[in-house]
Structure 1
Amino acid sequence: MNTSAAGVAIGLLSLHLWLALPTYHGFITALMIGSVVCFYSKWRLLIYIAIGACLANLAATSYLKNVQLTFIEPRNITIVGEVSSLLNRKKLDTLFDFVTSELRQPDFRLSKKLRLRLSWQNQTNMPVMKQGERWQLQVRLRPPHGRVNSAGYDRERQFVGKGIHGVGVVTGGVRLASGQHSLAGLRQMAFDRALEYTDELNHQGYLLALGFGFRGALEAQDWGLLRDSGLAHLMAISGLHIGLAIMLGWWGGGVLRNLFGDWPHAIWLPLWVGLTTGGVYAWLAGFTLPTQRALLMSSVVLLLLRFRVVWPSWQVLLLVFTVSLALDPLASYNAGFWLSFAAVAVIAMAHVGGVRFEESSEMKLHQRWLGKWRALLLLQLSLLVLMLPVQWLWFGGFSPWAPLVLAAIVFSSVEQLAMVCWQMANMTLSPVLWIAEWARGGWWVLADSAGRWVLAASAMSVLLWLLPLRRFAALLTVLSMVVMLWNQPAVIQGTQMAETDDKPTSHDPFVSIKNREPWQIDLLDVGHGLAVLISTQNRSVLYDTGNRWPEGSIAHSVIEPVLKQRGQTSLDGLILSHADSDHAAGADYLVEVFDPDWKRSSDFREGYQACVRGEKWQWYSLRFRVLWPPKQVARAANPHSCVVEVKQGVGGSMANDTSLLLTGDIDAISELLLARLEPNLSPDILLVPHHGSRSSSTVTWLDQMGWFDRMDPKYALVSVARFNPWGLPSSDVQQRYLDRGVNWLSTAELGQVSLHINGEEVDVVRYRQDRKAAWFRPATSQE
C-alpha cells in the first residue's frame, strides 16, 4: 500500500513539474510505454506513478477543454444553472459563483457543467440571489485571467485550484426555481438565520467565517488583524474544527450506544454519529479543502479503530494525501491544500520524534501539568519552525472556539437557544481578538533573499531533531557551514563592490561615479493603470501607483509585495505623472508605508516637489530630466502628464547608454508640442502614452516631424488590462510601432515586464512566459 500510494501521489503532482501540455503529453506517452516494460521487470512503483500521471493529465485536459468553451461566443450568451455560493442579502455583493447545466444560443444548445465566477453589470437593479436557486442568465464570458507579477496574489492559479473555468459579466437574468428543497438551499437558509441572530454582535464577520466558511463579512482591517496575529484560519473552518465536531459526535454516539444496551448494531453508533457530525459541519463550510482532508482522515482513523487495525500515522497521512489528490488533482494549486497537509505532517513527525505526554501513576500532579505544558510548547515550536517554508508564501492558524459556533447552528431552529449560543461564541472571541490586537502591525515579511534561510532553518531543525549532536557533530557542522556560505558572493566580488561603494544618493546628487552600475525597469502588471519601478543597488524609484477600489489597491496588492519580496522597506522616490485614479490613487498608501525620501508631481500637492520641464536630478548613476509639462497646474489631467527621461549620467554629462522615456497619458497635442521642444528625442525604451490609445502615439510624434531621424525605440512598453472594455491598446497604434520594428511589450500579454540594463545591453524578462509560465495560463493567440 505504501509503494502504491506514494507512486500515485508522485504521478499526480507531476502537474507541477511539466508546464507545457505538448511536452507533458510526450512525457505521458513515454511513461506509459515504460511502465509496461517495468511491469514485467517487477518495477511496480513506476506503474503507480503512471496511474497518477494519467489521472493528473486527465484533470488538466478536462479543465482546459472547459476553459476553451468560454471562447465560444464573444457576445452575450445565455446560460442555465445554479447559484453555488453563499450570498449575504444585507450586503451589496455583485460577485457570485455559478455552475452551469446548459449553454444556449440561437444556433446551438450545449449541455455542459462549467463553474463560473460572475458579477452583475448593473448594481442598482441587481436581484436578490440565494445559493441553490436555478437561474437563466445572459452573460459575456471570458477565460480565467489575472495579473502576473514577480510577487503578490496569483488569481489564475487560484482559479485552477478552485476549478473556476471562466469569469463573466451578467447583463440580465430570470429566476427559474428556488432552492428551498435542495441541500444548497438549506445551507443558505441556515446562513440567513445566522445573519439575523448575529446582526447585533460585534464579531459577526468572524462568527460567520467560523460557522459557514463565509468570508464576505470580514473587512480589510479584519484581514490585517488575522494576518498580523497569525489567526488567519479564523476566516474559514479548518481541519481542527472538523476533528472537534467528530469527537463530539463520537462521544454522543457512545452515550446512545449505552442507552441501547445489547442491541448488536449499536456498536456502530459512535462511528456513524461522529462521521455524520463531521460531515454536516464540512457541508456547512462548503466542503473546502481543509474540511475534506480532515473528514477523510477522520474516516480512515475511525474505521481502523473500529476494525482494530493499527497503522502508523505517516501511512494514514500518505493514504489521505493520495486519495485527496486523486479525487481532485488540481487541488494541489490551492494554498489550503498544502497548509492543511503540512500542519498534519508536522504534528505526526513531532509525535514520532517524541513530542508527546507520557503519564504514569507515579507522577505527581505538578509533574503531570508540567509534562503537558512541555509537550504543548514543543508541539507549537515544531509547528512554528517546520511550517516556515509553507508560511513563507501563506499564513495560517486555527480557532478553538468553533464548537460553540457549531452548537449555535445546530440549534438555529430554536431561536432563544441559538441566540444564547451565538452570544457565548461572540463573548469567547472577544479576549482572543483583544490579545490579537497587540500583534497588529507585527507581520514580518520575508524577502526572496531570506528564503534560503527559511528553508535552511527548517532543514537544520529536522536534522538536529533526528540526528543526535554527539554522534553526528562533524556532519552537522559541515552542513551548517554549507548553509552559511550558500549563494554568498566570492571574495573578489566583495572587493570589487567595495571599490565602488561611494554611490551618490538623492541628497548628494552630483558626486562623481567611477563605474556605472546596472539598473532595472519593471513595468508591473496592474491591469488598467500604470506603475513603473526603476531600481539600482537594491533601491527603487516608483513612477505612478496604479488604481484603487473600496476593498484595496494596486499599491497594496502588487507594488508592496514586489518591493518587500526584494527586501525593500522604503522608497527613494515617488513620481506621479498626473492625478487620474489609475495612475495616482495609491499614493497616500505608499507614502504611509514606504515613506519616500522625495516626491514629485505635475500638480500642486502638499509635500511634493514640482515635476515640470527643466527639472533635473541625480539618483545613484541615473539622471532624471523632466521634459513636460511646462508648468504645474491645480489638477493634472492627461495632457499635463509628467514626461521624464531617465539615462545614466553624472552632473551635466549623459552617457551614451540605454535611455528610458516615461510618458504617462500625454495626448496628441502634448506630443506635438514636445516634438517641437525636443526634436532630437529618441529613447531606447519608450512607455507608450495613454495605454496605446488612439489619442496618442501619433505619426507626428513617432516621426519627430521629419526634422531629424524618426523616433526609433527598441522597446515599447504598454500597461493595459486584459479584456479591458475600451479595446486598448488600439490595433492601429500597435501596428504603427510594429511597422517601425519596435519590440511591443504589453502587460496584457506578458504580465510584468522587467528590463535589466547594463550599458547598452538590455535583457528582457516576461513573467507570464519566462518566469511563471504554466499550462493553465491563457494562450495569447486565443485572446
Structure 2
Amino acid sequence: MQSMNWARRLWLGLLAGGAGLALQLHQVALWPTQAYGWALAAACLGAAGLSARWGGARGGRRTTLWTAARLGGLLLACGLFSFAVTGLHASIQVGQLDSALEGQDLDVVGVVQAMPQRQDLGWRFRFQVESAKRAGKPVSVPEQIYLGWYGQEGHDSGWRLTALPEPVQAGERWRLRVRLKAPHGHMNPRGFDYELWLFEQGVGATGYVRTGGRDPLPQRLAQTWAHPVEWWRQTVRDRLLDRLAPWGDGAAPGPNLAGIVAALVTGDQAAIDRSDWDVFRATGVAHLMSISGLHVTMFAWLATLWVGWCWRMSALWGFQGALRWPAAHVGAWSGLALAALYAVFSGWGVPAQRTLWMLTVVVVLRVSARQWPLALIWLLAGAVVLVIDPWAFLQAGFWLSFVAVGVLMASSGQGPIKASQAMSSPFMPERLDAANDGVKALRLGMGLGSLRLQGAGAGVLGLFKTWISGPFGGRVLGLLREQAVVTLALAPLTLLFFGQLSVVGLLANLVAIPWVTLVVTPLALLGMIWSEAWVWAALCLQPLAAWLSWLASWPLASLSTAMPPVGLALLALVGAVCWVLPAPRALKVLSLPLLWPVLFWSHPRPPPGTFELLAADVGQGNAVLVRTASHSLLYDAGPRYSAESDAGHRVLVPLLAQMGERLDRLVLSHRDSDHTGGGAAVLAMQPQADLWTSLEDDHPLHRLRSPWTRCQAGQSWVWDGVRFEVLHPFADGPNKSPEAGPGEASRQRLPRIKPNAVSCVLRISDQNASALLTGDIEAPQEAQLVQSGLSRVDVLLVPHHGSKTSSSAPFLEALQPRLALVQAGYRNRFGHPAAPVLARYEDMNITVVDSAHCGAATWRSQAPDRWVCERERARRYWHHAPP
C-alpha cells in the first residue's frame, strides 16, 4: 500500500509539473531571470517543508481536509518548480541580435557548425561565430546563426543565374561578409512556427552571405576538427550521392532514390524531393524515409541482442568476467550506448534525441530490479524529455508518439510489470506514422529474431512452416490489431495537428515497415564500408516506391478535414481511447458523439450577406483569401522564395487545408513572381477552382487550367449577397487583346508593357462595408481609377506593397479607407512600405497594418472597425517583436 501511495503521489507530481510547464510556455514575455530564480527557491523550500512534515507525522491522525491541503501544496510546488526551471532555461537559450545591426554589412569569422544543406541555389548552413566586425569595429552578435549562400539572385519577374558558391564543409573556418536579421518567420493561423524552431535550435539570427562586386570574397581560412561527426556525415553523404548519381540526377524516371538513401544514412531530409514527400505523407510512411525514433529504437534493440549474445558466448569461451554482470544488463547498456552514437551520426535530430532519452529511462528502470507500473514508466520517460527539451511540449511529434505508447500500454490490460518487459514498447518519433507503426516494427523484428532453426537441415520451407504454425502468426495478428488500435486512437490528434489522415496507411506500412527497417536501412548503413550496398539499397527501394505511388494515386488515399479546435480534438481523443481500451459496451456507444465534431468539423464561415478577408503572411508578396457564406476566392498566390520553395507549398496549401477550404476562384493580378509564385501549387491542390488572370496568353500557369478568364473592367458577379467587381485593367488600355475573352485563351501575344500596369483590381462590397484589392498598380493606373469614379472603401490592400510609385494622394482621398493592409516581407530589399507613403497614410488618419508586425490579418465586414493580427493573438516570448 505504501508503494502504491508513493506511485500515486509521483504520478500527480508529474502531472502538476506538466501543468507548470504548459503555463510557462504560454507566457507572452519572459520575466527577469531573478524572478524565475526566486520562484525556483520558493518551490524547493515549500516542497522540502511539506515533505518533511508529511513524513514526520506517519503515526498521527489527520483530517481529510488537512491531508488534501498538504497534497495540494506539494502539487503547487511541483508546478512552480517546473515553471521556474523552464523559465530559466528559456532565459539563457538564445542571445538577442541588436536591432541596429540588422541589414548592416558585417564581417564575421567562424566555423561551419553542421552539415550544410545543399539546394539548387547554393547552400544553407549553421555558422558558429567567433568574431564579428562592422566597419572594422568589433560588435556582438549571437553565437549561432543560420546563413544562406546563394548563387542566384531573385528578381520580380524570375530568377537570374550567377556563379554558384563553392562547396562548404562542416568544420571549416571562414571569413564572410554577411547581412543578418532577427529570427522572423511567417505567422499564420495554425501555421508552422519557424521562430519556435529557431529558438529551440539555439539560433539567434538568420542572414545571407554577401558576394557583390563591392564585397570582399568569402575566404576559407582552415579546416578545423571542431565538428568531426558533422564532417564525417557530410563526407558520407557526398560519397553516397556521387555513387547513386543515376538514381538522383533526374536521368531515371520516378522518385529520387539517391536522396532517400542519403536521408536513411545521414538524416539529411532535405535530400528527399518535395514530390516524394507528398507520396510518403499520403501513404503514411513519411517516418520511415529518414532517420527517426523508429530507426534508433530498432538499432538499440538489434545492438542489445547482438552484444548480449556475444557476452553469453564469451562465458563459454572462457572469459570469466562475463559471469560478473548479467548479459541482459550488459546488452541493454551497450545497445543504449551504440544507439546514442547512431543518433549523433544521424545529426542529433530532435526525434532521435527524444527517443534516446526515453530509452535511457527504460534501461535504467530495467536494471533496477524493481517492479514499476507501466503508467509511471510512461510519465517518467515523457518528463525526462520535457526537462531536457521543454518546447517539445508544443510539438505534434511528441504528443503523437507519447499518446501512442500510452494507448498501447493501456490496451494491453496489464498491471504493474517489470521494466524489462517495457522494452517491447519503444518510444517513437515525431510524426503520426511513426507513432502508429514504430512499436509494430520492433515487435515484428523481435518475432523474427526469436525464431530458431531446428538443426542444420532446416530450409526455407521449414522456416516458413515454423513461422505459420508457431508464434509468428500470432505476432502478425497482434501487429494488425495494434496498428488498428493506435490508428483509431490517434486519428483525432492527427486531424488536429495536420488536418490529414492516411486511409491507406495500414496497408502501406504493413509492407513498408519490415522492408525499409529490415532490408533497405541495413543495406544503406552497410554502404558506409562497402559502397556497392548503396546500389542494392536503391534497387530495393524501387519496387517499394512503385507500390507507394500506386497507393497514393487512389482517389481516397488520404482523408483531409478542417483542423478542429483544441478542445474538440481532446474530447474526440477521449472518445477514441474509450473505443480501443477495455471498457463496457455502453460506454463505447456513449463516446461516439465525441468523435462527430472532429470528423465533420467545418471552419465557421461569415453570415450570408457579409464577407471576410484573411491577408496571409507570405513575406514579400500578395495573397488574400476572401470568404463568403458558401464561396471562397484567393487573390494572388504569394511569392516564389527560391527555385525549390514558394508560398503555395509553404503557406497557402497548408492554410487552405487546415481551414477545409475549397476555392471557387483564383485571381492572379499580374505576372510578377511575388504574386504568382504559389499559383501552381494552389491550382494543383484546388482542381475545381477557375482561374482569372491578366497574364500573357502563353504563360505556363494557363496550361494548368484551361479555359481561363482574362480580367477586364466591367466584369462582376454576386456570391451570397456579396458583390465582386473588376475595376481594372480597362478593356481599351494597353493590355487590350481583342481575340481574348472570358473562358478562352487567345494565342495573340500581349504587347511588352510593364506588368504592374495590367494588375487586376477587385472591389468587394456588401450592404455594410467594402474592400479594394489593388495588386501592383502605380500612380498612372490610380489616376485612371479616380477618373472612372472611385467610391469610398473600408479596407484597402495597399498598392505595390507600399512602394513610392503608388498610394498617390488623390487616390487615397477618393477611397478614404479606415484600414490599409500592407503585405511586405520583414526588412525586404525594396524598403516597402516606404517612409513617405506611410507618412501620407498617417496624415490622412488611415490606420496601416503591415504583415511584418501583424502577421496574418483577419477582417470581417460585419465589424469593419476591428481586425485581428495573428502575431498579436498568438504571441509567445520566443516570437520576434519587430521595432
Q: TM-score, normalised by structure 2?
A: 0.75
Cα–Cα, structure 1 residues 113 and 424, in superposed 2: closer, same or farther, change >3 Å?
Answer: same
Q: Give the equivalent residue in structure 1 for 2:777.
A: 666
The aligned amino acid for 1:745 is V
Shifted more, 241-250 versus 38-47: the winner is 38-47
Q: Give the equivalent residue in structure 2 for 1:194.
A: 240
Which of the numbers 142, 157, 173 marks the counterpart of 2:218? 173
Q: Give the equivalent residue in structure 1 for 2:830.
A: 726
The aligned amino acid for 2:30 is L
Cα–Cα, structure 1 residues 364 and 160, in superposed 2: closer, same or farther, change >3 Å?
Answer: closer
How far apart, in 1, do the equivalents of 2:684 and 2:391 lie?
A: 39
Q: Give the equivalent residue in structure 1 for 2:679.
A: 587
How far apart, in 2, do the equivalents of 1:276 and 1:223 lie?
A: 31
Q: TM-score, normalised by structure 1?
A: 0.84
The aligned amino acid for 1:284 is F
Matched, 1:778 2:880: yes
Cα–Cα, structure 1 residues 720 and 594, in superposed 2: closer, same or farther, change >3 Å?
Answer: same
The aligned amino acid for 1:643 is V
Offset at 1:384?
0.7
Matched, 1:687 2:687: no
Q: Give the equivalent residue in structure 1 for 2:761.
A: 643
Shifted more, 396-405 versus 321-330: the winner is 396-405
SS of the counterpart of 2:638? Answer: coil
SS of the counterpart of 2:372? Answer: coil
Which of the numbers 609, 619, 624 marks the counterpart of 2:719? 619
Alignment of 1:153-552 (within 5 A): 153-171=192-210, 172-179=217-224, 182-201=228-247, 203-257=257-311, 258-259=313-314, 261-264=318-321, 267=325, 269-352=330-413, 366=469, 368-392=471-495, 393-394=497-498, 399-400=513-514, 401-402=516-517, 407-408=522-523, 411-412=526-527, 414-415=529-530, 418-419=531-532, 421-441=533-553, 442-449=557-564, 455-466=570-581, 468-469=583-584, 473=586, 479-481=591-593, 517-548=609-640, 549-552=642-645
Q: Give the equivalent residue in structure 1 for 2:25.
A: 16
Offset at 1:610?
3.6
Q: Give the equivalent residue in structure 1 for 2:786.
A: 675
Q: Give the equivalent residue in structure 2 for 1:699.
A: 809
Offset at 1:70?
6.7
The aligned amino acid for 1:50 is L
Matched, 1:57 2:87: yes
How far apart, in 2, do the equivalents of 1:220 and 1:529 lie?
A: 22
Cα–Cα, structure 1 residues 559 and 407, in superposed 2: closer, same or farther, change >3 Å?
Answer: closer
Matched, 1:740 2:844: yes
8 Å Cα contact 1:659-1:683 kept in structure 2: yes
Cα–Cα, structure 1 residues 276 and 200, in superposed 2: closer, same or farther, change >3 Å?
Answer: farther
Offset at 1:36?
4.2
8 Å Cα contact 1:100-1:114 kept in structure 2: yes
Matched, 1:756 2:860: yes
Instruction: Give the RMSD, CA atoms, in angstroms.
Output: 3.7
Offset at 1:230?
0.6
Offset at 1:402?
4.2
8 Å Cα contact 2:523-2:536 kept in structure 1: no
SS of the counterpart of 2:200? Answer: helix
1:684-712 per-position Cα deviation (integer Å, ceiling 9, x unaligned):
211111100000111232234xxxxxx42
8 Å Cα contact 1:20-1:774 kept in structure 2: yes
8 Å Cα contact 2:117-2:123 kept in structure 1: no
How far apart, in 1, do the equivalents of 2:118 and 2:791 lie?
A: 57
The aligned amino acid for 1:324 is V
Matched, 1:136 2:246: no
The aligned amino acid for 1:145 is H
Cα–Cα, structure 1 residues 252 and 196, in superposed 2: closer, same or farther, change >3 Å?
Answer: farther
Offset at 1:164?
2.4
Offset at 1:738?
1.4
SS of the counterpart of 1:323? Answer: helix
8 Å Cα contact 1:236-1:285 kept in structure 2: no
Q: Give the equivalent residue in structure 2 for 1:506.
A: none
Q: How many residues align?
A: 733
Shifted more, 385-394 versus 520-529: the winner is 385-394
SS of the counterpart of 2:203? Answer: coil
Shifted more, 146-155 versus 305-314: the winner is 305-314
Cα–Cα, structure 1 residues 300 and 188, in superposed 2: closer, same or farther, change >3 Å?
Answer: same
How far apart, in 2, do the equivalents of 1:111 and 1:596 lie?
A: 53
SS of the counterpart of 1:387? Answer: helix
The aligned amino acid for 2:803 is S
SS of the counterpart of 1:63? Answer: coil
How far apart, in 2, do the equivalents of 1:337 and 1:486 lie?
A: 21
Cα–Cα, structure 1 residues 588 and 4, in superposed 2: closer, same or farther, change >3 Å?
Answer: closer
Cα–Cα, structure 1 residues 412 and 618, in superposed 2: closer, same or farther, change >3 Å?
Answer: closer
How far apart, in 1, do the equivalents of 2:33 and 2:769 lie?
A: 40
Cα–Cα, structure 1 residues 249 and 465, in superposed 2: closer, same or farther, change >3 Å?
Answer: closer
Offset at 1:45?
3.1
Cα–Cα, structure 1 residues 616 and 88, in superposed 2: closer, same or farther, change >3 Å?
Answer: closer
Offset at 1:12?
3.3
Offset at 1:121?
4.5
Cα–Cα, structure 1 residues 465 and 227, in superposed 2: closer, same or farther, change >3 Å?
Answer: closer
How far apart, in 1, do the equivalents of 2:598 and 2:107 lie?
A: 57
8 Å Cα contact 1:576-1:600 kept in structure 2: yes
Offset at 1:566?
2.5
Shifted more, 100-109 versus 216-225: the winner is 100-109
Offset at 1:722?
1.0
1:284-306 per-position Cα deviation (integer Å, ceiling 9, x unaligned):
21111222222233333334434
8 Å Cα contact 2:575-2:595 kept in structure 1: no
The aligned amino acid for 1:639 is A
Offset at 1:440?
1.8
Which of the numbers 99, 121, 128 marks the counterpart of 1:99? 128
SS of the counterpart of 2:849? Answer: strand
Question: Which sections of structure 2, spanning at least 5 residues, go unmatched?
Answer: 1-9, 52-72, 153-162, 211-216, 248-255, 416-424, 426-439, 448-465, 503-508, 698-705, 737-749
8 Å Cα contact 1:63-1:165 kept in structure 2: no
Offset at 1:746?
1.1
Q: Give the equivalent residue in structure 1 for 2:109.
A: 80
How far apart, in 2, do the equivalents of 1:544 and 1:343 lie?
A: 40
Shifted more, 515-524 versus 452-461: the winner is 452-461
1:49-71 per-position Cα deviation (integer Å, ceiling 9, x unaligned):
3232222112222235x133575
Cα–Cα, structure 1 residues 480 and 299, in superposed 2: closer, same or farther, change >3 Å?
Answer: closer
How far apart, in 2, do the equivalents of 1:485 and 1:531 lie?
A: 30
Which of the numbers 639, 644, 653 marks the counterpart of 1:560? 653
How far apart, in 2, do the equivalents of 1:482 and 1:412 lie?
A: 50
How far apart, in 2, do the equivalents of 1:627 and 1:645 lie?
A: 7
How far apart, in 1, do the equivalents of 2:836 and 2:118 lie?
A: 46
Identity, % of aligned pairs? 28
Shifted more, 228-237 versus 289-298: the winner is 289-298
Which of the numbers 575, 600, 613 marks the counterpart of 2:667? 575
How far apart, in 2, do the equivalents of 1:11 and 1:543 lie?
A: 43
The aligned amino acid for 2:878 is F
Q: Give the equivalent residue in structure 1 for 2:156.
A: none
SS of the counterpart of 1:67? Answer: coil
How far apart, in 2, do the equivalents of 1:477 and 1:255 lie?
A: 49
